[in-house]
Structure 1
Amino acid sequence: MAKAFTPKVVTASDLLRGDVIYQTATGWSRDLADAEVLTDEADADLRLIDASQQTGSVVGAYLADVDTAAGTPKPKHFREDFRAKGPSNYPHGKQEALNNV
């Protein structure tokens, strides 16, 4: 039996800045909360193809599982949680903001 499709987002890296980005309905965002949550497998495949063809601005596009129970997408895998928090080797940016909460 085929595995049931679970909610996903399209994620990639910004080609010029290297930041983790998420596909929205109208473009890209650096915030996972802005990501377009895909619940249909065919639609997800089409959005991934679209992202993969944007070779001048993104690299490494793929579908990532998310949990939507809280209303906003949250990473289901520790790798995605780590990516969403940003680089951990800099004393500034997303990681530093999280340390000061």
Structure 2
Amino acid sequence: MRAITANRLTDGHVVYRRADGIWKPSLIEAERFADDRAAEPALDAALRDILTVVGPYLIELDGERPGGRKHVREAIRLKGPTTGTSLLYAQER
């Protein structure tokens, strides 16, 4: 399965495209596609939605979570940087 994701233009948050073309932060609401070919019309529409999102693309899904080869990237996009708090303590040294 596949879904379309992008970053919301106003604040950069990760969003997913629903079947009605609305972008939401919940992956559960995302429209599902059997393969890339089935997603082409929706992805074309998403790429034209330049006033709402930036960088739309297809992701693979593993149930209700990002999957496939890029799943690590998608996890980082959802949860934020992987640097932890180490940079916060660097200022104190």
Counterpart residue type for residue 22 of structure 1: Y
- Structure 2 runs not aligned, ≥5 long: 83-93
SS state at 1:60 partner:
strand
Q: Report 1:22-41 matches (<5 A).
A: 22-26=16-20, 27-41=22-36
- State whether structure 2 residue 66 is matched by structure 1 residue 75: yes
- Structure 1 runs not aligned, ≥5 long: 1-6, 90-101
1:20-48 alpha-carbon deviations (Å, 9 max, x no partner): 00001121110111111111433211111
- Verify the 8 A CA contact 1:24 1:36 in the aligned structure 2: yes
The runs of 4+ residues in structure 1 deviating greater than 2 Å are 40-43
SS state at 1:38 partner:
coil
Q: Report 1:1-101 matches (<5 A).
A: 7-26=1-20, 27-68=22-63, 73-76=64-67, 77-85=71-79, 87-88=80-81
Q: TM-score, normalised by structure 2?
A: 0.75
SS state at 1:48 partner:
helix
1:78 and 1:40 mapped to 2: Cα distance?
Answer: 20
- Verify the 8 A CA contact 1:32 1:84 in the aligned structure 2: no
Q: Which has the larger radius of gyration?
A: 2
1:84 and 1:37 mapped to 2: Cα distance?
Answer: 18
1:29-74 alpha-carbon deviations (Å, 9 max, x no partner): 1011111111143321111111000011110000001112xxxx21
- Verify the 8 A CA contact 2:2 2:36 in the aligned structure 1: no
Counterpart residue type for residue 29 of structure 2: D
